[in-house]
């Protein structure tokens, strides 16, 4: 846990209010560069059609944390795969409706 720069500008004291671990923003929701996964998801999904973004978001989230959240990494990988399979099926269906013979 890093000290709160806002509450404790000295960078040495850790606040028990704003710097305590919480269930809303646990560490497994952050990327290696301390960026939150949700910020990365927003960057990736911006501009995607909603029906595609609804599957892309969980794929990114599950793959980014698969070794951090569960003792069994396959749990999140299977969830990502479930969403990826649906995204592939959606793209196949979209392609079928736009392909003219």
pLDDT at residue 70 in the model: 74
Count of other CB atoms within 10 angstroms of residue 26: 12
pLDDT at residue 55 in the model: 97
Its pTM stands at: 0.68
pLDDT at residue 77 in the model: 95
β-sheet bridge partners, residue 36: 30
CA distance 16 to 77: 34
pLDDT digit of tens for each residue in the chain (101 aa)?
455 555 655 555 555 555 555 666 665 566 667 778 888 899 999 999 999 999 999 999 999 888 887 788 899 999 999 999 999 999 999 998 886 65
pLDDT at residue 56 in the model: 97
């Amino acid at each position: 846990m890093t000290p709160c720069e806002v509450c404790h500008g000295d960078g040495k004291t850790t606040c028990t209010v704003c710097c305590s671990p919480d269930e809303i923003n646990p560490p497994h929701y952050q990327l290696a560069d301390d960026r939150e996964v949700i910020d990365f998801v927003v960057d990736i999904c911006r501009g995607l059609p909603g029906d595609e973004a609804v599957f892309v978001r969980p794929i990114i989230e599950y793959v980014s944390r698969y070794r951090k959240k569960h003792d069994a990494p396959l749990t999140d990988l299977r969830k990502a795969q479930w969403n990826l399979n649906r995204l592939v099926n959606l793209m196949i269906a979209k392609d079928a409706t736009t392909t003219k013979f």
